[in-house]
Each structure stands twice: as structure tokens, then as C-alpha cells.
Amino acid sequence: MEMSNKTAREIWAEVKANPNRARFGYGKKAVLVNIDFQCAYTRVDEFKTAYETDPQQIEHVNALAKRFRALGWPVVWTHVEYLASAEDAGVWGTRTNTPDSLQNIKAGSRRAQLDERCDVQPGDLQYTKRMPSPFFETPLQSLLVWHQVDTVVITGGSTSGCVRAGAVDSLSRGYRTIVPEQCVADKHESYHFANLTDLMLKYADVVDVNETLTWLDAQVAAKK
């Protein structure tokens, strides 16, 4: 194993700066999967479980969603919530039982609610998931087959948890996977940057959000 005194942020900066890094690239049609933009994880002014990496994260995601809708491409928002009994949290929810615990994100609660800053439109899809990946036991795979997409753009949190799980599952299903850097967040910079590095080297293209916006704008222009 290679040893290093560099921080996760420094290693990520080196990987990102490599002009020769291999890319999966964009395909012909994409889906936007926005993972867990719910108050438990976005409202740092309300909940200890929340986190913020880029203060403009939700603005960037709303800009992406607007372009996806202009193309008639699917926009998906996921969130986690559990029954009062927490039996649907499975073993994942059994490690702790405090007011901040995962299993205590109850259906209909403020913690389960999508952040009102998110521009969620009536035509968007909203899925409840109970495990890290947005693909696990949700209709997401069927939606992607119906829309014949070949590219999955992933945003949300956490970078080291549900975003990573979603990217791994996306690639495993044969999709080109794009993670706009400014659109994902985590609790600590160490986890965040270490997982951006891992995603870039193995599972996804981690790109500047403006690159994805420019690609989408080109698709919108070509459609006119």
C-alpha cells in the first residue's frame, strides 16, 4: 500500500488536475438523480445531521433540473423515511436509537421533508429509499429502461455514502455516471475528498458542474 502524508483534499486536487485521466463521457440521454435533499441532511440551521460543502449546491442542482425538464429528460428526487416502528430500516437502522438516528427519520416528519429550496416540479419523480443506493428496491431502474437513458447524473449527499452507493450501482448497471463536484456534499472534508478521488478513479466522471450545464445547453440548442 502506498503511504502518503498528503491530505484527502490534496490528493483529490492532484487527481483532478491530471489532464490524461480517462473519462467515461456523456452519452445520448441522461437522467438526473438528486439524492436525499431532505432537511435532515441539508438544513444545517436545524439539524446536527445536516452538512454543507458548497453553499450554492441546491442552486446548481436546480439549474441542472431546469435543463433536464427542457429536454423532457427525467428528474428524480429521493429521500429516506421510516415507519414509526422503524422495522423497514432493517439492520442499517439498528446501531443507534437517538433522536438523530437514521431510523428516527419518520415518515411525514420535518427531517424527511425535501428542502423547500429545491425546485421540485409536478412532473419530477419522487422516490422513497430505505438503503444507501437510489437503485435499491426503488422503481429507478425501470424508469431508466423506459426512458432509454445511457447516462446517470448524480447529485446530493453524502459523497461517501448514498452518492457513492448510487454511482457504484449506476456503473454496475452499465450507465455512464457523472458526478458534478459542486452538487455533492458530506459531513467532513476527509470523507468528501477521499470519495471524490475514489469515484473519479473507479466509478464515475467527477466534473465541474459548468461542464454538465454546457453539455445540457448544447442538447437543448440541438433540440430547437
Supply the residues annotated as catalytic.
162
109 near 39, Cβ under 8 Å? no
Cβ neighbourhood burial of 109 (10 Å; 0-12, 13-18, 19+): middle
Residue 150 to residue 221: CA distance in whole angstroms: 20
> By C-alpha distance, which of 190, 170, 192, 173 is closest to 181?
192
Residue 86's CB: how many other CB atoms inside 10 A?
17
209 near 62, Cβ under 8 Å? no
- Which residue type sits at 46? E
Q: Which residue has the cell 429509499?
A: 129
CA 56, distance to chain mean position in Å, is 15
DSSP states along 3-31: -----HHHHHHHHHH-TT-------S-EE
CA 145, distance to chain mean position in Å, is 20
Q: What cell numbers appear for 85 in the block?
A: 416502528
